[in-house]
Amino acid sequence: MQPRPDRNLIFTRERRDLIARTIHEHGRARVADLSERMHVSTVTIRKDLEALAAEGRIVRAHGGALAIADSSAESAFEVRERYQRAEKDRIGAVAAASVIDGESVALDASTTAMAIARQLRARGGWVHLTVITNGLRIASELAGVPGITVVMPGGFVRWEAMSVVGPLGEGLFSRVNIQRAFMGAAGFTIESGLSDATQEEADIKRLMTTHARQVIGVIDHTKWERAAFATFCSTQELTTIISDAPPAGPTVDALRRFGIELTIAGNVGEVARARSGTRRTGSS
């Protein structure tokens, strides 16, 4: 079970919510103005804006941020889905090709996981594939596909992410065996592992990864060397990372030392592969 978030984490979320409301009310905001209003440093404001942009709640601009047009008619999920669309589609194709009929796999609510879901639907020919997801759009994409059973946890709906979050999902994940968990992320570093912009999403992703035999990170090149708000999977827990481009050399070397397989979508074969002694082979 995850520890309760401390007051600093709560204050961070409240500040970011206020920043998002301010930007949407005024259409735009400058880093300097937000820093003065929130009584925090410009460095902190920039981190807040990066996190909000990763959630799709605002758009980063030089010196500040802009509101997302027509946000009432279009969810943040739909906005994020347009970013790096071609790269996510390539990652999704490689990830879906690795899925074996008869498995139980987990997909988070990320837009990259949505690309995997589209590929699973297009592939067809399933006899008994179980997909566990907290993504509403992903569940809708796969619902009714012959041979695919979709399972969703209980919880609260986050409209901006089209996801279900909250502690009600703990009961489901404690009773299932997941062969592979495909996890998108707002960032990855060797030190922080896979991380997300919100604690709520990180908590449900942590439940998925904890009960999975293999954890596959699915991240496009913009997520390398970025640490988002909350870590949900340490580097040591990862089995594989699928991306559209490799990270810098030192990170590739570190992945090799950890025994993590790196697959670059769109290229022939794998640009980096290393397996050291121990990897998880059973649910925990």
Q: What is the pLDDT of residues 43-78, one digit of tens each?
A: 999 999 998 888 878 888 888 998 876 444 445 677
Q: How confident is the model at residue 268 (pLDDT cuts 50, 70, 90)?
A: very low
Cα 89 from Cα 81, distance rounded (Å): 10
Contact 83, 112 (CB under 8 A): no
Same domain assignment for residues 92 and 225: yes
Same domain assignment for residues 135 and 69: no
CATH number at residue 90: 3.40.50.1360
- Comparing 140-144, 158-162, 275-279, the range with the smallest average pLDDT is 275-279
Q: Is 251 helix (H, G, I), strand (E, B) or coil?
A: helix
The verdict on residue 143 lying in a domain is: yes
The verdict on residue 1 lying in a domain is: no
The verdict on residue 215 lying in a domain is: yes
Chain position carrying tokens 């942009």 = 53
Q: What is the pLDDT of residues 23-39, one digit of tens each?
A: 877 778 999 999 998 99
Same domain assignment for residues 233 and 98: yes
pLDDT at 153 over 90: yes
Domain residues for 198? 82-264
pLDDT for residue 158: 87
CATH number at residue 37: 1.10.10.10
The verdict on residue 208 lying in a domain is: yes
Cα 16 from Cα 97, distance rounded (Å): 38
The mean predicted confidence, pLDDT, of the chain is 86
Q: Higher-confidence residue: 21 or 107?
A: 107
Token pair of 257 as six digits: 């030392």
What average pLDDT does the segment 115-142 reach?
97
Q: What is the pLDDT of residues 218-251, one digit of tens each?
A: 999 989 998 888 999 999 999 999 999 999 999 9
Among 53, 73, 93, give the residue marking a domain's end.
Answer: 73
Q: What's the burial of 178, exposed, middle or buried (CB within 10 Å: 0-12/13-18/19+)?
A: buried
The verdict on residue 33 lying in a domain is: yes
The verdict on residue 23 lying in a domain is: yes
Burial of 110-138, coded b for 16+ CB within 10 Å and e otherwise, reads bbbbbbbbbbbbeeeebeebbbbbbbbbb
The verdict on residue 270 lying in a domain is: no
What is the value of pTM for the model shown? 0.73
Same domain assignment for residues 204 and 90: yes
Half-sphere exposure of 272 (CA within 13 A, CB side): 24
Q: How confident is the model at residue 14 (pLDDT cuts 50, 70, 90)?
A: confident
Angle at 129 between CA 126 and CA 131, to 5 degrees: 130
Domain total of the chain: 2
Percentage of the chain beyond pLDDT 90 is: 62
Same domain assignment for residues 58 and 198: no
The verdict on residue 50 lying in a domain is: yes
Same domain assignment for residues 169 and 48: no
Same domain assignment for residues 37 and 109: no
Same domain assignment for residues 129 and 69: no
Contact 187, 221 (CB under 8 A): no
Same domain assignment for residues 14 and 128: no
